[in-house]
């Protein structure tokens, strides 16, 4: 049998929202590929369980990435523990917000505060730690381009993430250091975030009808694309969107 090539040997990976779903699957796969992985989430118990599951080269920082002081604390911990970041996965996010007519200011601030503001400041505060050739992966969503799907705040927050990747990728100083920014764009994926939805037969039927591949994705399928964007296999990609959505946003 062919020997497994370790694609992230010795690399330092920071994943926000790494204690569950897509982030956890990415953390496990990147760890299997030789990375030292730091994961971030708010719930310390969930974080601890995830770190144990990922393996010996994993650690966690409990933090709320919608708060700047927490983001700064995460970066300080990573600086002390590892001195640099080779792969940053800006993944913490939610999709839960009310439909158009029920959105109030608090709901607006919560969604935008995590998915957009959190993503922006996670990247900004990580910049001093990003080494030459670092890869930054921002988790977007097929919903960013689909007016018919999702709710307005969620779709707009992920469209903002896509916009950030374009402008970050075009930053001259970062580009000279070969720092790359790409969006990983999942469709409908079975995770704790979507559990309530996929357990409802009508929602499940709607999703399976809308997705060309006629099924939900698995977090592990998104993680394999994250590994590709993280490692040198994607060394000539920046400012791109990699859609892993069963065709949902493509046809």
Ligand X SMILES: NC(=O)c1ccc[n+]([C@@H]2O[C@H](COP(=O)([O-])OP(=O)(O)OC[C@H]3O[C@@H](n4cnc5c(N)ncnc54)[C@H](OP(=O)(O)O)[C@@H]3O)[C@@H](O)[C@H]2O)c1
Residues found near ligand X in the complex (CB under 6 A): 16-17, 19-23, 40-43, 46, 64-66, 91-95, 114, 139, 141, 186, 188-189, 191-194
The CB-of-42 to ligand X minimum distance in angstroms stands at 3
Which is nearer to ligand X, 16 or 28 (by Cβ)?
16
The CB-of-208 to ligand X minimum distance in angstroms stands at 13
Q: 26 near 33, Cβ under 8 Å?
A: no
Catalytic residue among 7, 11, 158, 190: 158
Catalytic residue among 7, 11, 117, 154: 154
Which is nearer to ligand X, 47 or 129 (by Cβ)?
47
Query: Which has the closest alpha carbon to 50: 82, 88, 22, 69?
Result: 22
Query: Which has the closest alpha carbon to 66: 84, 86, 42?
Result: 42
Active site residue 154: yes
Which is nearer to ligand X, 99 or 172 (by Cβ)?
99
The CB-of-83 to ligand X minimum distance in angstroms stands at 23
**Alpha-carbon distances of 34 from 10, 93, 130, 225, rounded to whole Å:** 6, 26, 19, 17
> Regarding beta strands 130-139 and 180-186, do their DSSP bridges make them parallel or antiparallel, or are they unpaired?
parallel
The CB-of-46 to ligand X minimum distance in angstroms stands at 5
Side-by-side strand order, sheet with 130-139: 58-62, 36-41, 12-16, 85-90, 130-139, 180-186, 241-244
Which is nearer to ligand X, 10 or 192 (by Cβ)?
192
The CB-of-217 to ligand X minimum distance in angstroms stands at 7
- DSSP H stretches of helix in the chain: 21-32, 44-54, 68-81, 105-112, 119-126, 152-169, 172-176, 195-198, 201-210, 219-230
Tokens of 133: 């050739």
Which is nearer to ligand X, 86 or 186 (by Cβ)?
186
Active site residue 67: no
Q: Which residues are catalytic?
A: 154, 158
């Amino acid at each position: 049998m062919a020997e497994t090539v370790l694609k992230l040997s010795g690399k330092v990976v920071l994943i926000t929202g790494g204690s569950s779903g897509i982030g956890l699957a990415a953390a496990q796969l990147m760890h299997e590929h030789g990375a030292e992985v730091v994961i971030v989430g708010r719930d310390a118990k969930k974080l601890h369980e995830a770190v144990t599951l990922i393996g010996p080269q994993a650690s966690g920082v409990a933090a709320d990435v919608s708060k700047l002081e927490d983001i700064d604390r995460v970066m300080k911990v990573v600086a002390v523990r590892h001195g640099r970041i080779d792969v940053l996965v800006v993944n913490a996010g939610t999709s839960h917000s009310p439909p158009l007519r029920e959105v109030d200011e608090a709901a607006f601030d919560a969604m935008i505060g995590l998915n957009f503001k959190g993503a922006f400041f996670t990247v900004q505060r990580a910049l001093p730690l990003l080494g030459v050739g670092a890869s930054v992966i921002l988790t977007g969503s097929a919903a960013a381009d689909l007016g018919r799907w999702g709710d307005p705040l969620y779709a707009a927050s992920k469209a903002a993430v896509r916009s950030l990747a374009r402008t970050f990728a075009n930053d001259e100083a970062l580009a000279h250091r070969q720092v790359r920014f790409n969006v990983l764009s999942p469709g409908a994926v079975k995770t704790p975030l979507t559990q309530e939805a996929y357990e409802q037969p009508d929602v499940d039927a709607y999703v399976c009808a809308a997705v060309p591949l006629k099924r939900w994705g698995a977090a592990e399928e998104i993680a394999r694309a994250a590994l590709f964007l993280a490692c040198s296999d994607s060394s000539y990609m920046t400012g791109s969107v990699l859609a892993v959505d069963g065709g949902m946003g493509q046809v």
